[in-house]
Amino acid sequence: MHSVAAFVFWTCSGLVVYAYAIYPLLLWLLASGRPERLPTPGELPSVSVLIVGHNEEAVIGERIDNLLGLDYPVGKLELVVASDGSSDRTVEIVRQYESRGVRLVAFPFRSGKAAVLNMVVPTLRGDVAVLSDANTMTDRLAVRHLARWFSDPGVGVVCGKLILFDPVSGQNVDSIYWRYETFLKMCEGRLGALLGANGAIYAIRRTVFGGLPSDTIVDDFVIPLLARLRTGCTIVYDAAATALEETPKEISSEFKRRARIGAGDFQSIPLLWPLLDPRRGWIAFTFFSHKLLRWLCPFFLLGAAVSNVMLADRGVYGFSLAIQTAIYGAAVVGRFLSLGPGAAGKAMRLATMFTAMNAALFVGFFRWATGRQNGMWERTAR
């Protein structure tokens, strides 16, 4: 029994360490030897910026003003807002901008973002669709940066960079985790194996958008990868194309959002499992290491904890159990205390983030497995 517990402990612990530490190091080593990809010079394509929203009256006016300030050639930019069964003043507010060229698509009943995208994207006039959110503010040059890549016929999707900021101080508050994820995107992009996009800012060639299941939860992850599976197109990361988004005010709101994304991650596996085929190149490596193993980490962590308790009276296992207890204890303390900027505070915030993220994935798995998470979304309080 102890031999089985030891095997479980070292296997589970090793997979967690690989997913969060060894894989990023391997990825960096592989990507550092590759030259940075540059866009192919050419004429900018026609672009349609599409915002899909539900009950966005608090932000939609400011968002449209932001889009009207974009720097893009006259006559080549279409602005579209699709309301998914909004019951507030969203439609009324958007109608006030129709005289300024904003096109409103108002659906009387709610069907979910994926279903709305399936209906609206084929009607867009632009050769390229730029997809974003109602609570995002796009840099005025971002669409130019995204669109310049489509001179290369092999490029199907371009992912921009999302910057998080504190609405009170106005300062950039990108967490260690977000900077870590951005680093992975940059390396995976250089390797030609980028996974998904930032839903707040990405562009897709309209001809490679083949639709997606109407109950899809994480559309910004599934759409680019389905396009790659269907057409073999390249997904590019462009850090110069930026957008701003406020951080959530309540931790509970962020946990709910992450649990929903977790359910969507597990939902996507039956659609995207062909990416694991080694013949598809580096994307099989990144999908397995960055996504599949990461999604399974809550179960690895649980296996490591339970097996460690069973082995606690044997040599090094007492020490490893103390480390696990300290990490989870710091996570609990960090959840309820206001932490300072010092090293101890940063370590506790990191423990809290890591634990909460995996707990949300765990909850998301059961929401997906029990069918309790559908494709509808609710605005995160920001």
- What is the C-alpha to C-alpha distance for residues 113 and 378, in angstroms, rounded to an integer? 11
Q: H helices then E strands: how many in the chain?
A: 13, 8
pLDDT at 8 over 70: yes
What's the N-to-C CA distance of the chain in angstroms? 50
Judge residue 67's burial from the number of C-beta atoms within 10 Å of its C-beta, 0-12 exposed, 13-18 middle, 19 or more buried: buried
Q: Which helix (H) or strand (E) holds 102?
A: strand 102-107
Q: How does residue 372 score in pLDDT terms, banded at 50, 70 and 90?
A: confident
| Of 368 and 33, more confident | 368
| Of 62 and 348, more confident | 62
- What is the C-alpha to C-alpha distance for residues 231 and 208, in angstroms, rounded to an integer? 7
Instruction: Say if CB 118 and CB 36 are below 8 A apart.
Output: no
Instruction: Say if CB 56 and CB 86 are below 8 A apart.
Output: yes
> What Cα–Cα distance (Å) separates residue 77 from each residue in 101, 122, 228?
10, 16, 25
| Of 229 and 346, more confident | 229
Which CATH number is 47-247 given? Answer: 3.90.550.10
- What is the C-alpha to C-alpha distance for residues 9 and 16, in angstroms, rounded to an integer? 11
Average pLDDT over every residue of 34-56: 94
pLDDT at 133 over 80: yes
pTM: 0.90
Average pLDDT over every residue of 57-68: 97
Amino acid symbol at 307: S
Instruction: Please give the distance of CA 68 from its chain centroid, rounded to a whole number.
Output: 26
Amino acid symbol at 117: L
Q: Sign of the C-alpha dihedral, residues 231, 48, 260, 107?
A: negative
Query: What ranges do the domains of the chain cover?
Result: 1-33+253-382, 47-247
pLDDT in tens, 176-188: 777 888 899 999 9
Q: How does residue 293 score in pLDDT terms, banded at 50, 70 and 90?
A: very high
